[in-house]
Structure 1
Amino acid sequence: MTSTKIMHKLINEGTKREGQTNGIEYNGWKILSKKAPICNSQDIDKLQGELGIPLPEMIFGNNEVKLSHEDGFEIFFRAKDALELVDTTSESNKHIKVAYASEWGKKSAQNHEEIKDVIKPYDWTYSTAYQGTSANEFSDSEKCIDVDRLKQMEPILFYDENILFEDELADNGTATLTTRLRVMPSCFFLLLRFFLRVDDVLFRINDTRIYHQFGTDHIIREYSSKEEHYNAVRSRLPKTPNEDISLLTDPNWVSSILPTDKQIRINQLANIK
């Protein structure tokens, strides 16, 4: 009995100036990543008017990652949708303050000097629990991502990294929202990561992982949120004669250091058909 090899088609459309889309069609899926120039002044004015808050310093509002199946399942990842989840209530500046009171007060005061003319309050760290945009229903599940399968040595049919926004928090740290995805013959995996560093205050990472094993009828989404005091993370730096703090800008290293005992974790599943 001979096995049938499923062919894939790579996609490369558009231009860097107007927006370039790369992706793959494989096993009933179309997986696309569009990268466009940073938002211009018109884009910023329009987006800021819709969101009602100042935008991150670097916003790629026309970038998009899209996973779609021929049976109708779709999920998108876009900066605007992520920023819509930024807290704009009157309590927006107090959530972090509870755990990091003295340090947060100083950073907040410095930052709000930059935004004192803003009409409504907002969380200037741009923290977002965004997990993608989809009309398909996800429900709580005990199913987990097959980590062992992801560790197997498989050829990568398509790989991509995309940035949705970045801000240096008025020189107080950094906040970024990025995607990374890879497609292998047996499955695909996407990581949407919000990474926050507020110097001398805290680190926070909100991760959304999307996983599908080809041949199954469902897609798994795992969301986790974890944080730790800045000094606690810094104390874990390798001991060297001259302290190298460059690791504090590496989300992968920071993620490996952040404690998991208090993290928020949600597993969900959606049917493709």
Structure 2
Amino acid sequence: MLKKLIIILPFIFLLFSDIGHAAPNLSIPGLDLDAGSASEPEEVATSIKLVILLTVLSVAPAILLLMTSFTRVVIVLSFVRTALGTQQMPPNQVIIGLSLFLTMFIMGPIFSEINEKAYQPFVEGEITQQQAFDSASQPLKEFMAKHTREKDLSLFLDYAKKDKPATIKDIPINVLIPAFAISELKTAFQMGFMIFLPFLIIDMIVSSILMAMGMMMLPPVMISLPFKILLFILVDGWHLIVKSLLISF
């Protein structure tokens, strides 16, 4: 089932670019759900496979996002909001939406390669499902391996009692995905720490001034917030954050 997801899921992003061009000639087919009785064992097996596939698709977005740059992007953007201390501004919808579009931008060349080498040949019947899986997983493996720490990869290889692979192609996908995920978490938290430092300095300066003036009952956060926002605007913070994210990949 994981093999099918790896082949299918990257093309969810590609659909967004195709829908806009195909909208004038788009026709919506009818859907007929027939829950009749099955007379052959093969029909029962097919129905069970369909139910399992629909169940797995409910968690498909989480599987897809763990294999892309989304994890790092959304955590860093969340750190920016927390460091600014603006509570729910920007809203979660804006943070997640921007993270998704940045993910599509970063992963665009990889998805295009998968579409060209795996999906299109598979749809046209030129290659088998196994060949399509191998062709589709290779670009994703190269991307994840490039941003996975050797220490994290060794952790899961040792736990699974597997030998060190000679090439990226030999790394099992069920080992590479969690290793890539925790590597992305560490990288995102490192970037978040660097984002916090200048805002922390502003908070300390404001707090020291208020203490010196004897204004201990006035919350320092209330006074420092405008200065942090002003600093963020003056240095064009969003441009710097997004630029740093793009360069990190």
The normalised TM-score by structure 2 is 0.25
Between Structure 1 and Structure 2, the one with more helix by share is: 2
